[in-house]
Chain A
Amino acid sequence: MTARRDKSPNTNGWPFRDSAMDAETTVTMNQRMIGQLLQREVQAANLPAWQSRSLIGLGIEVAQSREENTGLSLKEAGKRSGLDPAFLAIIEAGKAVPEEITSDVLKALVRGVKAKSSDLESAMSVQESSVIERTPAGQIMSALISLCQPLFLNRATAFKSMVAAPASEEDEDEGVLLDDDAAGVSYKIGGFVEGEPPALIFYEFQNPQAPLRGWHVSVRSGLQELVSGVTDDQGIFRFPSSNQDFPENAHMLIRKSI
């Protein structure tokens, strides 16, 4: 029996395939797949729930695209995409790890299973906010805020309409505090005026007198970070000037600086 190490023709190439896989047996391929699952067992068990859901969502989308758009087997889809068929089975089972979902891998999936890039991103989107960490006293230390949940989308649309329209006395939307129950924080939407990029102003939950100063903010789409930064003295996080709007299918990880 060949040693496991010899069965990975191109260890550095994971999760991509190489030509040596053309001649390999299904025994070798499945051994490599299980070997990969073993290596990630601990990491997979410790993934936060939102990341697990993103990865399962991605797997469902890839499986559906492979079936409905190409009708290809795992092996054929592997050839077309340039990905290891062992990895394709892992990803479809929702067992990929975040580091594997690079832009190159997503491009390969788009090519291999004829998935729409936007569908893959949407499948990985985080649809619900949540608290990630609290102190023993119950204070929020980090939270995840979905930017594709109806609460946010409705308010953002209303805010943009309001700033685009001439001001009137009825316009009282500016400064409306959104209480994101699930994330345990509140925020206001800002920006969009005179070419300004969008911004969010964070506060302690239901307390507009207590801005979250110096919190680290990571804006992500799926498993990829789009932009990051720190809230200022007023709790404001401004998107880069290149952002004319909030990114689609995005979410934010906010963390108190220690």
Chain B
Amino acid sequence: MYAGVGFLGEQMSNTDEELLAIIQSRKPTDRVATAWDHLIEKYQPILLTYALSGRFWNGNQEAAEDTVQNAWIKIFNNINAFKQTNFAGWTYTILGNQFIDDYRKNKRVQTTFKLLPLGMQDDSRNLDFDQVERLMNRIHAEPSAEQTHLDDSETSDTRFRHMAQDFLSRSKASFFLGYQEDPNPKEGKEKTRFLRVKGELISNMIKEWVSSGRSLDTIMNPRQANVLTARFSLKRRNSEIFHDMGITNKLDLDDLISGATERLIEALSDEIPDD
């Protein structure tokens, strides 16, 4: 029960069910708008608190506000499909999904290079997180003296070290490593630099995979392989990929890219022997 001022103007309480009934009836327009106002007034503080919690953005106010704002658009888009009784639970689910989307894009890299925060692992993805961490450690490892001159017969393991060497030779690599240790993503320029490094690393991973004559199609579906190649090898813009591949909505594009990236990391990490 929401004990605010009623949408009819007098002091009264509106339950979620009452507000939703008006919204889903889609008329009259002014009452629908007012019902939305009530819902937002009630749930915005709750959703924002949730988004700010350690489970999600852990105090990052701007990221949390963005996630809640985007979640409201999803709630709006899907409100007519809502048939359950627990509106609050439904909004939390949407917020959680929105967080994963934003986290993948914004926090960008930690989805790729670190692990999703506790409790946010998606069951649909079967990444072995220990292996992923080992892969990342391997990539970030300083090459030893004897590994600095390697010939073509180098093993997959040493090629990773070569890649790491490549990275570490660049000035931004220090930032890359520093960023990883930061529990909160930094905003602004640092974030954009980090995203660039992420793109380069994924591009190197693709090269690593295909260098032995292997096709990306063997570890992901052809559509994912096409998207990954276009995005990170050919450096195509997301909007170009959207048009070229006839993708129907933005979320499908995000899913294709993140799913393909995860498949690649998973496959490469499988090649790393256990420590």
Whether B243 lies near A68 (C-beta < 8 A) is no
- CB distance A61 to B4 under 8 Å? no
Which B221-264 residues have C-beta < 8 A from chain A? Answer: 237-240, 242-244, 249-250, 253
Question: B195 contacts A68, CB within 8 Å?
Answer: yes
* Among A26, A27, A31, A127, contact of B244 (Cβ-Cβ < 8 Å): A127
* Nearest CB in chain B: distance from A72 CB, A: 7
Residue of A nearest to B244 (CB): A127
- How many interface residues does A have (CB within 8 Å)? 44
Residue contact B73 to A95, C-beta cutoff 8 Å = yes
Q: Which residues of B contact A95 (CB under 8 A)?
A: 73
Q: How far is the CA of A44 from the CA of B208 in the complex (A)?
A: 45
Cβ A57 vs Cβ B243 within 8 A: yes
Q: Is the CB of B191 within 8 A of A71?
A: yes
Q: Known: A26-B48, A37-B76, A122-B240. Contact between A4 and B69, CB under 8 A?
A: no
Interface size on B, residues (CB 8 A): 45
Question: CB of B177 within 8 A of chain A?
Answer: no
> Interface digits, A6-34 against B, CB 8 Å rule (1 contact, 0 not)?
00000000000000000000110111011
The SS class assigned to the A binding surface is helix
Is A38's CB under 8 angstroms from B32's CB?
yes
**For residue B36, which residues in chain A have a CB less than 8 angstroms away from its CB?**
31, 34-35, 38
Report which of A37, A64, A85, A125 forms a contact with B238, defined as CB distance below 8 A: A64
Q: What is the distance, in angstroms, from A45's C-beta to the closest C-beta of chain B?
A: 12
- Shortest CB-to-CB span from B226 to chain A, Å, is 16
Does A70 reach chain B (CB closer than 8 Å)?
yes
Interface locus among A86-94, A99-107, A224-232: A86-94
When C-beta atoms are compared, the residue in chain A nearest to B6 turns out to be A1
Q: Are A75 and B65 in contact (CB under 8 A)?
A: yes
With the chains together, A209 CA to B63 CA distance in Å? 61
Is B142 among interface residues, defined by CB-CB distance under 8 A? Answer: no
A53 at the interface (CB under 8 A from B): yes
Taking A75-B65, A127-B243 as contacts, is the C-beta distance between A27 and B40 under 8 angstroms? yes
Q: Which residues of chain A from 24 to 65 have any CB-CB distance to chain B below 8 Å in the complex?
A: 26-27, 29-31, 33-35, 37-38, 53, 56-61, 63-64
Q: CA–CA, A212 to B40, complex, Å? A: 53
Contact A27 B192, CB 8 Å, known A34-B72, A56-B242: no
Q: Which residues of chain A come closer than 8 Å to B214, judged between CB atoms?
A: none
Bound CA span A204–B201, Å: 52
Q: Is the CB of A56 within 8 A of B108?
A: no
Q: Which of A30, A61, A92, A122 contacts B72 (CB 8 A)?
A: A30
Known pairs A30-B44, A60-B250, A70-B192. 9 more at Cβ < 8 A?
A31-B36, A33-B73, A34-B72, A34-B76, A57-B239, A58-B239, A67-B191, A72-B188, A73-B65
Which chain A residues have a beta carbon within 8 Å of chain B's beta carbons? Answer: 1, 4, 26-27, 29-31, 33-35, 37-38, 53, 56-61, 63-64, 67-76, 85-86, 89-90, 92-95, 119, 122-123, 125, 127
7 tightest A-B CB contacts, nearest first: A71-B191, A123-B239, A73-B62, A61-B239, A71-B192, A127-B243, A60-B239
